[in-house]
Structure 1
Amino acid sequence: MSKIQCISPIDGSMYAERPVADAEQVATLFARSKTAQHSWAQLTVAQRCEFCSTAVDAMVSMKERIAQELAWQMGRPISQGPGEVGGLEERARHMISIAEASLQPLDPGEKPGFVRKISHEPLGVVMTIAPWNFPFMTALNSVIPALLAGNTVVLKHAANTLLVAERIQDAFDKACLPEGVFQHIVLDHSTTSELIGSGNVDMVCFTGSVGGGKAMEEAAAGQFIPLGLELGGKDPAYVRADCNLSYTIENLADGAFFNSGQSCCSIERIYVHESIHDELVAGLATVGQAYVLGNPLEATTNLGPMISPAAADFVRKQVADAVAAGAKTHVDTSQFTLDQPGSAYMAPQVLSDVTHEMSIMMDESFGPVVGVIKVSSDDEAIALMNDSDFGLTAGIWTEDLDAAERIAPQLETGTVFMNRCDYLDPALAWTGVKDTGRGCSLSAMGFDALTRPKSFHFKTSTD
């Protein structure tokens, strides 16, 4: 029997190991899910909300345990672990609060002699394939709304965060969710692909790499099922001369370095007006130099290891290649003794004199590094921000709301921020363009992706 291992980035030890489900177990689990969906869909939205709300309560009660397990599984400093729980709670409770209104049938307007409406029908069995970097929040982006809409859900979590699926299962079990409505499963990549193409899945919600998204499309070919694909980003920031510079520096540093830069919407490239370029770079470097890189189980650590030595070495190579091509580094990494080739621990870095010919400005880094380019105008910044294969979020730092409202529509991205970054507001649609993927989660629009419309066209008069 093959097994999936979770290797801790703290020390390279095996933290957890679970067997991969075999064909019989997969068939049994999905049969149970399909059977449960019919009765689950018959409940009122209010009843489904109650189950989900109780499950969220259970997850919140596990906050300390979750923080420690996240530190071991993916390197998040234990002091920051509760923030993951706060984020999942914010998102889940918002979706619960809007579910009844969002799932009400649409009324196309009165027409004499007819009764007409469009209902939101559940799709059936939704499979969520979740990543390791924000493992609870990304999973629940689809799990909670899918359940509220009347679907049943099967969660397959990343190998790096195996225990997250088990904690979510624990929470739904504590909520006494009917059997088969939410289940988790451990699969390898090949078995997952076979499953998606088997006809047992009615929708796939995937968060991961572009390569992973392409694999999802190939696996689902001919099944005619919807795919929700969030495939990452190379998110830009534009800093105008009229910004609040001290606030901007603090905000951008957090957006670039939090979670070791391992966020699809972290700031990976900055375009700043030439008049404040040097101040911004110096400020970012000062903040980066002050980070405490270390064991995430220690309370003083605010920058833990990346997910693996290979991930850290990839970013180190991007930095080295940029420097070889003329870029300049501004953080003295020699003071971070854990940052060594072959180590998962990587210090933050700020680079200037970078260009779009460099990987560091074009390819997703997913690490604690950011490149800075000076610009002379809004138009130049817009052109550079749009020069990317990705389009998840973009941020504008300015005190001029009119300028932000003029620039924002020209940016090829799913979300435009002003004076903030690396944040997801559950009241707004979370979506992207280009290689970031397709689909929409959260907000009232998120329910549309997890349901299908059904029209009712009743003629009441036959005279």
Structure 2
Amino acid sequence: MTLDRDAFFIDGTWTAPASGRTIQVVSPHSEQVVATVPEGTPADIDAAVAAARRAFDHGPWPRLTPQERIDVVQVFSGLYAGRLAEMADLITTEMGSPTSFANLAQSPAPWMQIEAFLGIARDYPWEETRTGVLGTPVMVRREPVGVVAAIPPWNVPQFTIMSKVIPALLAGCTVVVKPAPETPLDGYLMAELLREAGVPAGVVNIVAGGREVGEHLVAHPGVDKVAFTGSTDAGRKIAAVCGQQLKRVSLELGGKSAAIVLDDADLGIAIEGLKFTALMNSGQACVAQTRILASRTRYAEVVDALAEAVSGMQVGDPMDPATEIGPMVAQRQQERVEKYIAIGQEEGARLVAGGNGRPDGLDRGWYVRPTVFADVDNRMRIAQEEIFGPVLSVIPFDDVDDAVRIANDSDYGLAGTVWTGDQAAGLDVARRVRTGTYGVNTYTMDFAAPFGGYKASGLGREFGPEGLGQYTELKSIYLEAPAG
């Protein structure tokens, strides 16, 4: 079965592109073209925004009751649940995510988001009446923000699309999705399911493309809100445009998160946890905790255990269920990670696992060896800059206060963990580290709770009632006091 496509999803139909430009989707494992799809242009974005604008200004979707929208999204959820394996395989094919991770997170987690938001929407205070300070009633309404530009990255494409599209739909918004050029295929399957579920024409429109069309979409006067996940540099540019236009914006950006291993931690449990929290999706994750903070008392022990664990991880074909580390998404990303490995050595860090050079047995594909550096100073570039690959820095600390200081000594504030035998002590650390999410002897994303970052890790929150609220405007309606 071919994965090639020749149209965009605009106004509820498969629409011919405005130009003959195409995107070649290349397997990061085989380096072979696996599909060809149209590449969006500003003209295609104009058509998509126009369709979304009509659907919002004149269509039924924003005017349905919340329960009516919930009913449609519930149908979509059921259809999505039946295609999880297919969605996971598509994402592994287009961006190289290990199938073990894809079947854990790349498709089940988006479906779990849908279900979580449905539950939140059922109990959400779409309208509530309060008693004002003068005793008169005030109705507070939460209304849809309007046309939303949803711009996901390539590393977890469906995960980051759902965190935007589902709350937008439940709030009554219409959406234009611009998938990354590396990962356009999963969006086509999503479009088919949305149409089958009965989402009206123009409510969701999908046009894949690169930076040019993304910039055009962000600045488009027909867009009321931008929801973006990606790099901090891109987020700053988007925030500037939205600020100039007073356009609503939410940004989920980069991270350089720290995992603190306290002296009383069970090292076996900590190392197994760190293999996931630091190296999930081959290290291509914004929440990856790639700074490992270990006390000087147990530093050598932590370094040795981590080096042994990482060296033993299976690197290879992402379709192999045994694979733990797959390829980087593109050759440019492979080269970026290799550059940082070289920088770490130049800065004086001690290489204890991995390093540059193709992993054994792999003569093609954009692979890098999972790498661990010891004797890292937190001021080094490998400790301060987001590498977005399987490269870990082990940093020593003197005591708990020093560990918290080092964890907070970052431009970012997205995630983190502490590993300890004392949950109360771990919770104390969690309260002191300035990040939007944190774990004590674990790390996960619970879709009932807000997700997002401090500092350069972004603006706004996704998931939970707070994530749904990002797609609403608040309106206060002052009512006449009841007679007598």
TM-score after normalising by structure 1: 0.94
Residue 442 of structure 2 is aligned to residue 442 of structure 1: no
Number of aligned positions between the proteins: 461
Residue 245 of structure 2 is aligned to residue 223 of structure 1: yes
Q: What is the CA-CA distance between 1:22 and the residue it aligns to?
A: 4.5
Aligned twin of 2:442? 420
Q: Take 1:315 and 1:408, find their aligned partners in 2: how far apart are those partners?
A: 30
Residue 283 of structure 2 is aligned to residue 264 of structure 1: no
Residue pair 2:92, 2:319 contacting (<8 A) in 1 also: yes
C-alpha RMSD of the superposition = 2.1
Deviations 1:300-326 (A, max 9, x none): 322210112221222222222222332
Q: Take 1:23 and 1:259, find their aligned partners in 2: how far apart are those partners?
A: 32
Given the superposition, is the C-alpha separation of residues 25 and 330 from structure 1 closer, same or farther in structure 2, using an over 3 Å criterion? closer
Residue pair 1:193, 1:219 contacting (<8 A) in 2 also: no
Unaligned runs of 5+ in 2: 1-18
Aligned twin of 2:38? 19
Q: Take 2:392 and 2:354, find their aligned partners in 1: how far apart are those partners?
A: 14
Q: Take 2:446 and 2:217, find their aligned partners in 1: how far apart are those partners?
A: 32
Q: What is the CA-CA distance between 1:339 and the residue it aligns to?
A: 6.8
SS of residue paired to 2:473 = strand
Residue pair 2:44, 2:207 contacting (<8 A) in 1 also: no
Residue pair 1:118, 1:455 contacting (<8 A) in 2 also: yes
Residue pair 2:260, 2:418 contacting (<8 A) in 1 also: yes
Q: Take 1:146 and 1:80, find their aligned partners in 2: how far apart are those partners?
A: 27
Residue 70 of structure 2 is aligned to residue 49 of structure 1: yes
Q: Take 1:309 and 1:408, find their aligned partners in 2: how far apart are those partners?
A: 37
Q: Take 1:290 and 1:438, find their aligned partners in 2: how far apart are those partners?
A: 38
Residue pair 1:16, 1:162 contacting (<8 A) in 2 also: no
Given the superposition, is the C-alpha separation of residues 16 and 220 from structure 1 closer, same or farther in structure 2, using an over 3 Å criterion? farther
- Equivalent residue in structure 2 for 1:173, among 195, 208, 211: 195
Residue 178 of structure 2 is aligned to residue 156 of structure 1: yes
1:34-433 mapped onto 2 (5 Å cutoff) = 34-37=53-56, 38-83=59-104, 84-109=106-131, 114-332=136-354, 336-337=359-360, 344-421=366-443, 423-433=444-454
Q: What is the CA-CA distance between 1:26 and the residue it aligns to?
A: 3.2
Deviations 1:416-435 (A, max 9, x none): 211113x2111111111111
Q: What is the CA-CA distance between 1:277 and the residue it aligns to?
A: 1.7
Q: What is the CA-CA distance between 1:347 and the residue it aligns to?
A: 1.8
Deviations 1:250-293 (A, max 9, x none): 00112112211000001110111222222222221222122111
Residue pair 1:385, 1:411 contacting (<8 A) in 2 also: yes
Q: Take 1:192 and 1:85, find their aligned partners in 2: how far apart are those partners?
A: 24
Deviations 1:87-108 (A, max 9, x none): 1122221111111222432443
Given the superposition, is the C-alpha separation of residues 258 and 21 from structure 1 closer, same or farther in structure 2, using an over 3 Å criterion? closer
SS of residue paired to 1:428 = coil
Deviations 1:75-123 (A, max 9, x none): 1122332222211122221111111222432443366763212111101
SS of residue paired to 2:342 = helix
Given the superposition, is the C-alpha separation of residues 216 and 87 from structure 1 closer, same or farther in structure 2, using an over 3 Å criterion? same
Residue 472 of structure 2 is aligned to residue 451 of structure 1: yes
Q: What is the CA-CA distance between 1:226 and the residue it aligns to?
A: 0.9
SS of residue paired to 1:217 = helix
Q: Take 1:199 and 1:267, find their aligned partners in 2: how far apart are those partners?
A: 38
Q: Take 1:356 and 1:435, find their aligned partners in 2: how far apart are those partners?
A: 17
Q: What is the CA-CA distance between 1:449 and the residue it aligns to?
A: 1.2
Q: Take 1:18 and 1:111, find their aligned partners in 2: how far apart are those partners?
A: 58
Letter aligned with residue 338 of structure 2: R
Q: What is the CA-CA distance between 1:132 and the residue it aligns to?
A: 0.9
Residue pair 1:156, 1:165 contacting (<8 A) in 2 also: no
Q: Take 2:465 and 2:251, find their aligned partners in 1: how far apart are those partners?
A: 18
Residue pair 1:397, 1:419 contacting (<8 A) in 2 also: yes
Q: Take 2:203 and 2:119, find their aligned partners in 1: how far apart are those partners?
A: 20
| Residue range with higher mean Cα deviation, 423-432 or 307-316 | 307-316
SS of residue paired to 1:32 = helix
Letter aligned with residue 89 of structure 2: Q
Letter aligned with residue 336 of structure 1: P
Deviations 1:220-243 (A, max 9, x none): 353211111111100101111111
Q: Take 1:402 and 1:25, find their aligned partners in 2: how far apart are those partners?
A: 54
| Residue range with higher mean Cα deviation, 60-69 or 285-294 | 60-69
Given the superposition, is the C-alpha separation of residues 266 and 46 from structure 1 closer, same or farther in structure 2, using an over 3 Å criterion? same
Deviations 1:414-459 (A, max 9, x none): 11211113x2111111111111111111111112211110001112
Unaligned runs of 5+ in 1: none
TM-score after normalising by structure 2: 0.90
Aligned twin of 1:7? 26
Letter aligned with residue 225 of structure 1: K
Letter aligned with residue 18 of structure 1: V
Residue pair 1:397, 1:418 contacting (<8 A) in 2 also: yes
Identity of aligned residues (%): 30
Q: Take 2:414 and 2:354, find their aligned partners in 1: how far apart are those partners?
A: 31
SS of residue paired to 2:343 = helix
Residue pair 1:197, 1:221 contacting (<8 A) in 2 also: no
